[in-house]
């Protein structure tokens, strides 16, 4: 994992993106070279690109297509099948080539640009086969980090299973080290061994060439966890990570079940300084203004469709809890019947809610129903990225049942958020708990970099109906 502005980015995704950008850049340069040779052999050919121009345009082409790859979800943590991977790659290449043609057509002759783009796409497709094969080979031949898990309870075996289930081939669980006098609660055939408590932890680390230790214990007080021995390992350069740190680093969540207030108080993050607030506000103003202009035709069509589909107002106004617990009026395109809550009782929205209209179902799937909230962003009541605002009736319930729930109200609510791009659709208390863990991660590690990442992943979620 790489830490960029406190957000942990997969090394594999970083390498894949860098490899793709390099490939696209080289493909453009090769295309410019071959196009120049072909034009030189023509009788009345237009001049080819000179090398300074080719380098600049090649960087532009690589950036545009890589951005399309990101929009297609090619760098998201969820693995794709071979068929989906190639279809999305081909689609992103086609769209990226079209965008590049429109943007570069004002400075490059059409004949030259068409020839270079066509050749660059061909070279990129050929190179992709070799690059993807090389990355696949590297993932299976690289050495794996040898991990020792302290603890033999359900959390410890949960971490071990998570390392395997999430296909983190770069880690190998060597074994478990019991804390205190606990007895293993799970012992599957073929699972890593449980070392004797009498064994010295530093000696085990040296003997089994341990490179990382994960302390998978919720309660570390009372002498159960060998802190002195862990300190000795840490001094020798062995990274030691607690359960909350593992979740944050590996799963981009902050676990509330094993979370203590002291971790929130003394831990890094939760930066809400003046510079951050000003930068985020400027980012929201610029992006929401541009999005409102671009989405205006879609919003007009949505209003007409709602009016023709069912009786009632086009816009739906609902009280939501914003920053600092203050209430504000949240705007959405109406997607349910007018009598959806005729009895006055607030209800969670279900996945296949019978109250949703035909047009409303489409608006929800494409998230067009959220577009009016861009007005709330301009007014300063919301941000483009942040925890989704909840109804005050539900906040009262969730505050009592979910630890540290009010932490999410330390930032402005968002039109989209980290939970929305990383968690599947759900409308229950357990779903709210899982989403809150993602929201805590965002509040703790919020930055413009993470905001951009959420916006990019939102495109993938909308296009391919991933997440919520």
- Which of the four pLDDT bands, split at 50, 70 and 90, describes residue 183? low
What average pLDDT score do residues 39-48 get?
Answer: 48
- Which of the four pLDDT bands, split at 50, 70 and 90, describes residue 48? low
In Å, how far are 141, 253, 271, 374 from 389, measured between CA atoms? 45, 19, 20, 14
Lowest mean pLDDT among 68-82, 369-383, 454-468: 454-468
What average pLDDT score do residues 1-10 get?
Answer: 74
Structure tokens at 409: 């109200």
The confidence score (pLDDT) of residue 350 equals 63
Listed in sequence order, the residues at least 6 apart from 371 whose beta carbon sits closer than 8 Å to its beta carbon are: 291, 295, 298, 299, 302, 333
Listed in sequence order, the residues at least 6 apart from 289 whose beta carbon sits closer than 8 Å to its beta carbon are: 378
- CA dist 312 and 303 (Å) reads 11
The confidence score (pLDDT) of residue 190 equals 63
Domains of the chain, residue spans: 2-141, 145-251, 274-464
Does the pLDDT at position 49 exceed 80? no
- CA dist 446 and 6 (Å) reads 8
The confidence score (pLDDT) of residue 45 equals 46
- Which of the four pLDDT bands, split at 50, 70 and 90, describes residue 294? very high
Q: What are phi and psi of 117, to 5 degrees?
A: -60, -45
Exposed / middle / buried, residue 233 (Cβ in 10 Å: 0-12, 13-18, 19+): buried
Does the pLDDT at position 456 exceed 80? yes
pTM, two decimal places: 0.85
The confidence score (pLDDT) of residue 256 equals 85
- CA dist 83 and 73 (Å) reads 14
- CA dist 188 and 177 (Å) reads 16
Look at domain 145-251 and name its CATH class.
alpha beta
Exposed / middle / buried, residue 42 (Cβ in 10 Å: 0-12, 13-18, 19+): exposed
Strands 2-4 vs 414-416: parallel, antiparallel or unpaired: unpaired
Listed in sequence order, the residues at least 6 apart from 68 whose beta carbon sits closer than 8 Å to its beta carbon are: 92, 93, 95, 96, 99
What average pLDDT score do residues 153-182 get?
Answer: 78
Structure tokens at 413: 């609510």
The confidence score (pLDDT) of residue 46 equals 47
Residue range 295-351, pLDDT digits in tens: 999 999 999 999 998 888 999 999 999 999 999 999 999 988 887 666 666 666 666
């Amino acid at each position: 994992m790489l830490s960029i502005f406190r957000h942990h980015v997969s090394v594999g995704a970083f390498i894949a993106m860098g490899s793709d950008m390099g490939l696209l850049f080289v493909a453009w340069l090769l295309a410019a070279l071959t196009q120049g040779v072909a034009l030189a052999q023509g009788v009345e050919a237009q001049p080819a690109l000179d090398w300074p121009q080719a380098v600049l345009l090649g960087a532009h082409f690589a950036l545009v297509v890589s951005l399309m790859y990101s929009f297609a979800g090619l760098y998201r943590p969820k693995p794709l099948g071979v068929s989906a991977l190639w279809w999305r790659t081909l689609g992103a290449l086609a769209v990226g080539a079209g965008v590049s043609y429109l943007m570069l057509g004002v400075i490059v002759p059409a004949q030259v640009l068409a020839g270079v783009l066509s050749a660059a796409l061909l070279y990129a497709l050929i190179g992709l086969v070799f690059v993807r094969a090389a990355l696949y080979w590297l993932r299976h031949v690289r050495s794996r980090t040898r991990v020792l898990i302290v603890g033999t309870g359900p959390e410890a075996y949960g971490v071990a299973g998570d390392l395997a289930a999430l296909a983190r081939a770069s880690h190998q669980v060597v074994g478990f080290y019991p804390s205190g006098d606990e007895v293993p609660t799970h012992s599957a055939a073929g699972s890593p061994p449980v070392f004797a408590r009498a064994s010295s932890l530093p000696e085990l680390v040296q003997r089994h060439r341990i490179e990382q230790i994960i302390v998978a214990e919720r309660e570390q007080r009372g002498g159960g966890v060998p802190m002195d021995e862990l300190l000795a390992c840490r001094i020798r350069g062995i990274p030691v990570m607690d359960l909350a740190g593992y979740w944050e680093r590996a799963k981009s969540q902050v676990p509330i079940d094993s979370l203590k207030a002291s971790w929130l108080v003394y831990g890094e993050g939760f930066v809400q300084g003046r510079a951050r607030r000003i930068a985020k506000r400027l980012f929201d103003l610029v992006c929401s203004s541009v999005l409102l202009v671009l989405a205006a035709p879609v919003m007009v069509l949505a209003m007409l469709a709602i009016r023709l589909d069912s009786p009632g107002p086009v816009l739906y106004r609902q009280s939501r809890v914003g920053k600092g617990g203050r209430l504000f009026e949240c705007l959405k395109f109406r997607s349910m019947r007018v009598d959806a809550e005729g009895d006055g009782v607030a209800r969670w929205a279900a996945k296949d809610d019978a109250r949703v209209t035909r047009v409303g179902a489409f608006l929800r799937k494409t998230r067009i129903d959220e577009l009016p909230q861009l007005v709330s962003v301009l007014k300063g009541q919301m941000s483009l990225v942040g925890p989704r605002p909840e109804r005050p009736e539900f906040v009262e319930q969730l505050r009592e049942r979910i630890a540290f729930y009010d932490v999410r109200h330390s930032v402005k609510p968002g039109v989209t958020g980290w939970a929305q791009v990383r968690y599947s659709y759900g409308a229950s208390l357990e779903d709210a708990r899982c989403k809150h863990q993602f929201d805590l991660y965002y509040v703790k590690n919020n930055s413009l970099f993470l905001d951009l990442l959420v916006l990019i992943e939102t495109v993938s979620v909308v296009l391919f109906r991933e997440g919520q």
